[in-house]
Structure 1
Amino acid sequence: MKQTITIVGLGFGDETSLNIGTWNLLQNAPVIWLRTVKHPVVDWMKNQGASFHSFDEVYEKHHQFEEVYEEIASQLIGLAKEHRQVVYAVPGHPMVAERTVQILLQEQTEAEIDVEIMGGGSFLDAAFARLQIDPIEGFQMVDGNDVKAHQLNPRMHILVGQVYDRFIASDVKLSLMEVYPADHNVIIGTALGIPSLEKVVEVPLYELDHADLFTDLSTVYVPPVRQESSLYRQFDYLVEVIETLRSPDGCPWDRKQTHESLRPYLIEEAYEAIEAIHNGDEDSLADELGDVLLQVLLHAQIGRDEGTFDIRDVIENLTEKMIRRHPHVFGETEVTDSDQVISNWQEIKKQERGEYGQEDESILSGIPKEYPTLLKSFEMQKKAAKIGFDWDSVEGVLLKVREELAEVVQAENQAEREEELGDLLFALGSLARWLQVDPELALIRANQKFLYRFSYLEEKANELGQSIQEISMEQLDAWWNEAKNV
């Protein structure tokens, strides 16, 4: 005879919520093991002469709930092997928010035991009735000990279970406030469906943990948001906005765009984000990154309209790539520094090209044609350097820069000047690589510096009521030096 653990639910409340089948089983069981005696029906069971033990003392031994649940499951398996038949009773329904049950179900095969589940009224029954929730409208249930903001859908009814105290409520509040407005009203429901114990309190979210309203029977109900503006932080809502813009009743400009027509905007928005980074303007950066994301979403919606790909393909491809190219994080590869990470990354990219039949014809292949010329030069030299085609030291690069500068000075006609100046810029790109400076970013910063200082000259001229053309070069030079120190 195989060892068996029979798990029964004690229902959500007092003896009136205990079904007859469960009570008959409990009456005939030689001994009952309760996960906890902290349940409204337990005192009644005791008065009816039921014999039971509980695992409450296990809670005192551990600091983490997971450790508690693992020990309870382990003890139950041991009891089953010793007594063959064990009855284990849990609050509510065994398959609703019962971690010990899930552990037993996962381990039953290896432990060579059978786990049988008998029902019981779940607290969800009482919650749906007392809070007037119809779950068909969309419903989520989450554990108060492990609420993740990215899992929450603010368009659904959400019940946060196992909010036992203010400490858990505080963590729940912080997670919810990443998704909901701070003044979004929530309901703290305690002992729902038990007339003698039930309490229902409505508070704004920011006050969720202000009062000591929590017990072992407390649940937090978060109603769906009703204002569309409350969905503005949700990625799926943004996708819907872009879909609307591209719809037949949407925006004429957005509807006529193609991958090709949007190309310059993608480059432009990327550079504006880079400028915000250089300016150290965090508010502007958040705005500019949104504009970059807009371009991604527009291209994804165009792909969906054409039946080629959509935003989920974009996300799936990126997720798969990030996991594949970080085996030191998601696999068993070991690295010692960031240089080894980059080396592994490049090797994985090379393998990918081979797998997809995209083996490059040249070491220098794979540089986007749309790159600015200076950046393209920089990337070509980086690729060449990886196979050893490089200077021995930065001194050799500096010597080459001086040589090219001299040739620019010595050029005798326009064609020679153009050629020699190109060689000088190419050599400066090599110098940037040796100095570990991105030449494109360095030039952007230089442009910004020039723009600021020249604007300073214009302001000083305006203060005198003159145009900048009327100011002497000596005065302009003096103001320029002033601008350096402003």
Structure 2
Amino acid sequence: MSVIQVVGLGPGDMSALPLGTMQQLQSGKPLFFRTYVHPVVEQLLAEGLQAQSFDHLYETGESFEKIYDQMAENLFKAAKDHGEIVYAVPGHPLMAEQSVQNLLNKSADRGVEVVILSGQSFVDAVCTLLKVDPIDGLCILDGTALDSKQVRPTLHTLIVQVFDRRVASEVKLTLMEVFPDDYLVTVVRAAGVSGEERRETLPLHELDRLEWIDHLTTVYAPPSSEPEILKRDPWQVVNLVRRLREPGGCPWDRKQTHQSLRPYVIEEAYEVAEAIDNEDDFALAEELGDLFLQVLLHAQIGAEEGTFDVRDVFGALADKLIRRHPHVFGEQAARSPEEAERFWEAAKATEQVKSEANVSHSDRQTESTIFAKVKWSQPPLTTSLALQRAASSVGFDWQDIDGVVAKLREEIDEVNECLQVGTVDHEAVKDELGDVLFSAVNLARWLQVDVDAALNLANRKFLRRILAVEKILRKSGQDFGMMTPQQLDFYWNQSKAQEKTLPIED
């Protein structure tokens, strides 16, 4: 089998090359350098070593992916022609060296063995220069494809492939999504190359102003413990929530259960909706955070109980997004929002069929009926409307609106009957009031009135009028506590009368 011996040239000092690497370089086998632009290569060529390089491919203007593919093709052909060749790359062959990864990925199909000779990487040299211990947590990222979501501010971060000031500018802008503009970073050039090492610590916003940035440059962002930085890291927030639930944490948070938190999930969702209605972006960001807190609290409780954790939540969401978007992550094509929605609903239907085996016995009373699609997790008014629409679809409905109105009056009368007894039965009142509300929703359905919008209108109307009463009282130096019920009723009617002569603003 043909063989490609891959050797690393280290950071740039020939005296640091391992003996095995030197033996391969001087073996007389066909030798290929990824690039001549490296201090060790310059020394080897000066000593008369014969070799070829792939520098000409970089001059074609093609993408790195295409360049590395072409390198691989040339190397495989050379290995087939000569039986065994040597391919030398800067640094360590398996450290930020995509051309070697290409060879490894394709070698089996090409019938060529790729042998890696270990050596010193630029990481060794950079960490030595900066006096950084990688055991504290080290993240190595590619400057040409840097994404702020990759950056963890609690880790030592080395950003490599910072070839020029253009890449440095992109790195700067990306890091500024995580760190403040004046965060101190260190730029290192030619680490490990005796007599050529250079480093400079400067504010992040000045990163791309250095004129000496080149192919030997690495950017180092030190870990931060600043709360203002860490609080924007999602995983730090996860840790904060976990701390709230730990011994010595918050007594209120530690006491909560899935059931006790249920009202807060609904409350926070409504507050998000209110911020959207008010077109208040700052409030929306805050309210989304409050809603996300509920997600994290439930995930933490699940983790403590051993049922699920926040990664399971993220995983389930990712799976669902992929399943329900076959036109994005699969072979389907959606040419319109309506077609995309059909894919979504079709995926939901498939999921429903698969989940039927997990339906509990208590829930099977609605299985295979017109009520199976009613979501009991909806707000109660919405659920009432869904039930009534489902019943109406099979003919279970009043013949006309008179029957609907009569039913509402009947239910109100039954509430009155509950109140006539000596001791009020609160459970009975709750039951009858539920019937009143259910009948009111039915009336709204018959009148084609959005019940939530109608109730919201009433809420706003009440608030508007009570604020008007409060304003009247303040003008006269009084407050609610000083008024009799009759006086308050007078002012209430006065505020209603004023509305009839003024434009109403909701």
Query: Which of 323, 332, 340 matches 2:342?
Result: 340
Q: Which residue of 1 aligns with 2:283?
A: 284
Q: 1:173 to 1:412 in 2, by over 3 A?
A: closer
Q: Which residue identity is paired with 2:77? A: G
SS at match of 1:101: helix
Deviations, residues 255-306 of structure 1 (Å, cap 9, x unaligned): 2222222222222111111111111111111111211122222222222223
**Contact map agreement 1:407 1:420 (CA 8 A) in 2:** no
Q: Which residue identity is paired with 2:351? A: K
Instruction: Tell me which moved more, 344-353 or 219-228.
Output: 344-353
Q: Which residue identity is paired with 1:273? A: V
Question: Does 2:457 match 1:450?
Answer: no
Q: Which residue of 2 aligns with 1:375?
A: 382
Long gaps (5+) in structure 2: 416-432, 479-487
**Contact map agreement 2:327 2:340 (CA 8 A) in 1:** no
Question: Does 2:372 match 1:365?
Answer: yes
Deviations, residues 64-104 of structure 1 (Å, cap 9, x unaligned): 21121111112211222222222111111111111010010
Deviations, residues 81-129 of structure 1 (Å, cap 9, x unaligned): 2222221111111111110100100100101111111223211111111
Residues 314-325 of structure 1 aligned to structure 2 (within 5 Å)? 314-325=313-324
Instruction: Tell me which moved more, 242-251 or 352-361.
Output: 352-361
Cα RMSD (Å): 3.3
Question: Does 2:481 match 1:484?
Answer: no
Q: Counterparts of 2:387 and 2:143 in 1: how far apart (Å)?
A: 53
Q: Counterparts of 1:65 and 1:479 in 2: how far apart (Å)?
A: 70
Q: 1:179 to 1:406 in 2, by over 3 A?
A: same
Residues 29-48 of structure 1 aligned to structure 2 (within 5 Å)? 29-48=28-47
SS at match of 1:226: coil
Q: Which residue identity is paired with 1:425? A: V
SS at match of 2:218: strand
Question: Does 2:89 match 1:90?
Answer: yes
**Contact map agreement 1:457 1:476 (CA 8 A) in 2:** no
**Contact map agreement 1:94 1:101 (CA 8 A) in 2:** yes
Q: 1:305 to 1:191 in 2, by over 3 A?
A: same
Q: 1:211 to 1:355 in 2, by over 3 A?
A: farther
Q: Which residue of 2 aligns with 1:425?
A: 441
Shift of 1:474: 7.1
Shift of 1:220: 0.5
Instruction: Tell me which moved more, 455-464 or 40-49.
Output: 455-464
Residues 169-248 of structure 1 aligned to structure 2 (within 5 Å)? 169-248=168-247
Q: Which residue identity is paired with 2:405? A: V
**Contact map agreement 1:265 1:295 (CA 8 A) in 2:** yes
Q: Counterparts of 2:403 and 2:494 in 1: how far apart (Å)?
A: 29
SS at match of 1:260: helix
Identity %: 38
TM-score, normalised to structure 2's length? 0.82
**Contact map agreement 1:163 1:214 (CA 8 A) in 2:** yes
Query: Which of 386, 398, 405 matches 1:408?
Result: 405
SS at match of 1:285: helix
Shift of 1:133: 0.8
TM-score, normalised to structure 1's length? 0.85
**Contact map agreement 1:163 1:220 (CA 8 A) in 2:** yes
How many residues are paired up? 470
SS at match of 1:208: helix
Instruction: Tell me which moved more, 473-482 or 192-201.
Output: 473-482
Shift of 1:335: 3.8
Q: Counterparts of 1:154 and 1:272 in 2: how far apart (Å)?
A: 31
Q: Which residue identity is paired with 1:356? A: N
Q: Counterparts of 1:458 and 1:445 in 2: how far apart (Å)?
A: 20
Instruction: Tell me which moved more, 226-235 or 462-471.
Output: 462-471
Q: Counterparts of 1:452 and 1:424 in 2: how far apart (Å)?
A: 22
Residues 132-147 of structure 1 aligned to structure 2 (within 5 Å)? 132-147=131-146
Shift of 1:20: 3.1
